[in-house]
Amino acid sequence: MVNRMIVKIDEDKCNGCGKCVSPCAEGAIRIIDGKAKVVSEELCDGMGFCIGVCPQDAISIEERQTMDFNPQAVKEMQENEEKDSEAGSIHCFKCDRDENERYLMPLRHGKESIWVCTRCLPALIHG
C-alpha cells in the first residue's frame, strides 16, 4: 500500500449518467447498478480527467492509502476490452442485439441506466 492521489466518487450525488467513464483512459470507472464506481484502485492513475465532466460534482480526488497504480493491469484490461468490443460487449435491453448489429444509445429508464437500439427505442417511448 502507498499513499497517493486517487479518485473518490460520492454515490449519493452520482446520477449514473456515465460521462466520467470515457475520460478515464485507464478504464478504472464503470457504471455498476446505475452508479459510477472505481472498479479497481490499481487502474486509477489519480489524474482526475473525470472530475470536470461530472454534472453532479460527485467526483473528487483524495490522498489516501491504497494500491499503487499498475500500468500493466491497465494494459491487460484494455486488451481484454478490445476482445470484448469485437464480440459486442453491450446489448439492447429489449432485443439483445449488440453494438456490432445495431446502433445503441445509453438511456435512463425506470431509474436504471440501460442500452437501447434505435429500433426498440420508439416502442419504449410510445409504449
Question: All 3 cell numbers of residue 83?
Answer: 476482445
Give ranges for CATH 3.30.70.20 in the chain: 1-87
Q: What pLDDT, on the 0 to 100 scale, is given for residue 39?
A: 93
Q: What is the pTM of this model?
A: 0.63
Q: What pLDDT, on the 0 to 100 scale, is given for residue 111?
A: 78
Q: If we measure between CA atoms, which residue out of 53, 60, 51, 58 comes closest to residue 34? A: 58
Q: What pLDDT, on the 0 to 100 scale, is given for residue 127?
A: 76
| Beta-strand relationship, 59-66 and 104-109 | unpaired
87-92: list long-range contacts, CB under 8 Å, 24+ apart: 90/115, 91/115, 92/116, 92/117, 92/120
Q: What pLDDT, on the 0 to 100 scale, is given for residue 28?
A: 92
Which CATH number is correct for 1-87, 3.30.70.3270, 3.30.70.20, 2.60.40.10, 1.10.10.10? Answer: 3.30.70.20
Residues 61, 5: contact at Cβ < 8 Å? yes
Question: What are the average pLDDT values for consecutive 10-residue runs of the chain, which has 127 residues?
Answer: 94 93 87 92 91 93 92 84 62 88 85 87 85
